[in-house]
Amino acid sequence: MHILHVVGARPNFMKAAPVLRALGKRMHVRQSLVHTGQHYDVNMSDVFFRQLGIPTPDVNLGVGSGSHARQTAEIMNGLEGVMLERKPDVVLVYGDVNSTVAAALVCAKLLITVAHVEAGLRSFDRTMPEEVNRIVTDQLADILLTPSEDGDRNLRAEGIAAEKIHRVGNVMIDSLVELLPATADVPRNGLADQYALVTLHRPSNVDDSATLNGIIEMLVELSAAIQVVFPVHPRTRQRMETLTADFSRLHLLEPLPYIEFLALQKNATVVITDSGGIQEETTYLGVPCLTMRDNTERPITVEMGTNILIGQSGRRLLDEVQRILRGEAKVGVVPPLWDGYTGERIAEILCGAGADFTGASAGVRMAGR
Ligand code: UD1
């Protein structure tokens, strides 16, 4: 069986690594890896491949940045030739980035079986580009691998047949479990005993200068109470260069490698973010998380974990941090199947008894579409 993985952006890499490893143990599986090049800076891509032990991609499309339409179209254009040449039996796509939806579209048109890792998540907010990517990818996928029960429910509500849905757990937690011991060696350069770790890159928070300026001013105010450590995403850095706010009191860093960022999360007093994955990582680590969004596609982190949605309200942010500093942080539990074995469960579904996506059976499936 030939399984081809498509990855492209930073949050894909920690999801693909455990699946590549688990499938690598199966003698009858041949794997190929395609990097679309959506993310291309060394510290947004290569360093993650190195730390997560991901092999060098067989193909790098090198599409780079662009508008949504252009980037998605260029990925599709590049992937079509790769699929026709390599003829995989199954293509695995990850998460909700433009590379994910582009690959699902190409494979659906070529009648290649698509498995979506992290299926079923919904913010119910179509102003988020990722929400559009999630909905389209799930409608096109043949195998939907969900992290939690809400994912199954969302898919069934959209008319997806129950037999296509497999709850496997949170694959990103596999990478976290694997590399958490390595964080012990990361030096605490310039960090106070207590600090707030900040990440911001959602268009809704950073693309509008007035909004971003307000958020930065709020973080500067927060820095009077606690050190603010802020590794800045390239999208956010570009916008910050045009701001009037004086952010010299913030401890700004370049985007960090996986292990270094995990160490920062593990030791943080509080994490302030608009990332999806970080809401999950903090829930696993038991670190308080304040999410600067009005909604989340990962509600389980609010229901069971340490996450609180605070929107863009500065007052709320300062109040919640004060509460945490008083020792009254929200306490959570780790959701079911966030256990480090999701990659194995995915490999079992793709290769286990009764699974045959090769040759004749794929033909039957194609004829039945
Ligand atoms: C993308 C994903 C988002 C994910 C995020 C994680 C989509 C729609 N968005 O957003 O879901 O949470 O990645 O990082 O797929 N840039 C660089 N170097 C890079 C990559 C990007 O400098 O290696 C700059 C470019 O100027 C680019 C901008 O960052 O225009 C945004 O990159 P893009 O890939 O379009 O979206 P992200 O904001 O990174």
* pLDDT tens by residue, 329-354: 999 999 999 999 999 999 999 998 66
The tens digit of pLDDT for each residue in 195-242 reads 999 999 999 999 999 999 999 999 999 999 999 999 999 999 999 999
Any domain includes 176: no
pLDDT computed for residue 118 by the predictor: 98
Report H helices in the chain.
10-24, 46-52, 68-86, 98-110, 129-140, 149-157, 171-179, 203-206, 209-222, 234-240, 258-267, 276-285, 300-303, 314-325, 342-351, 359-368
Same domain for 14 and 78? yes
Query: For a pocket test of ligand 1, which of 97, 233, 241 has the largest count of ligand atoms closer than 8 A to its C-beta?
Result: 97
Q: How many domains does the chain have?
A: 2
Same domain for 149 and 196? no
In this prediction, residue 368 has a pLDDT band, given cuts at 50, 70 and 90, of very low
Any domain includes 175: no
pLDDT computed for residue 356 by the predictor: 75
The yes-or-no answer on residue 201 being catalytic is: yes
Q: State the CB neighbour count (10 A cutoff) for residue 217.
A: 16
Dihedral of the alpha carbons of 141, 116, 231, 284, in degrees to the nearest 10: 140
- Integer CA distances (angstroms), 154 to 38, 168, 228, 277, 302, in order: 28, 15, 37, 19, 17
Of residues 275 and 245, which shows the higher confidence score? 275
Distance CA 282, CA 61 (A): 33
Distance CA 231, CA 253 (A): 4
pLDDT higher than threshold 80 for residue 48: yes
Same domain for 153 and 212? no
Same domain for 344 and 313? no
CB 311 within 8 A of CB 294: yes
Any domain includes 360: yes
3-state secondary structure of 30: strand
Any domain includes 209: yes
Distance CA 129, CA 100 (A): 12
Same domain for 197 and 258? yes
Any domain includes 330: no
pLDDT computed for residue 162 by the predictor: 97
Report whether residue 70 contacts ligand 1, using a CB cutoff of 6 Å.
Answer: no
Any domain includes 331: no
Same domain for 242 and 103? no
Same domain for 35 and 145? yes
Same domain for 224 and 201? yes
pLDDT computed for residue 313 by the predictor: 84
The tens digit of pLDDT for each residue in 13-47 reads 999 999 999 999 999 999 999 999 999 999 999 99
The tens digit of pLDDT for each residue in 65-74 reads 999 999 999 9
CB 76 within 8 A of CB 334: no
pLDDT computed for residue 354 by the predictor: 64
Report whether residue 121 contacts ligand 1, using a CB cutoff of 6 Å.
Answer: no
Same domain for 40 and 152? yes
Same domain for 41 and 134? yes
Same domain for 127 and 10? yes
Q: What is the CATH number of the domain that holds 198?
A: 3.40.50.2000
Average pLDDT, the chain: 95
pLDDT higher than threshold 90 for residue 361: no
Task: Tell me the average pLDDT across 160-183.
Answer: 98
Any domain includes 332: no
pLDDT higher than threshold 60 for residue 364: no
Q: Which atom of ligand 1 is nearest to the CA of 95?
A: 11
Any domain includes 76: yes
**Residues of the domain holding 308:** 181-325
pLDDT computed for residue 358 by the predictor: 67
> What is the CA(37)–ligand 1 centre distance, in A?
11
Of 116, 201, 233, 251, the active-site residue reads 201
The dihedral built from the CA positions of residue 59, 61, 62 and 66, taken in this order, carries a sign that is negative
Percent of the chain past pLDDT 70, that is, above it, reads 96
Same domain for 203 and 234? yes
The dihedral built from the CA positions of residue 107, 108, 112 and 117, taken in this order, carries a sign that is positive
Query: For a pocket test of ligand 1, which of 43, 44, 65 has the largest count of ligand atoms closer than 8 A to its C-beta?
Result: 65
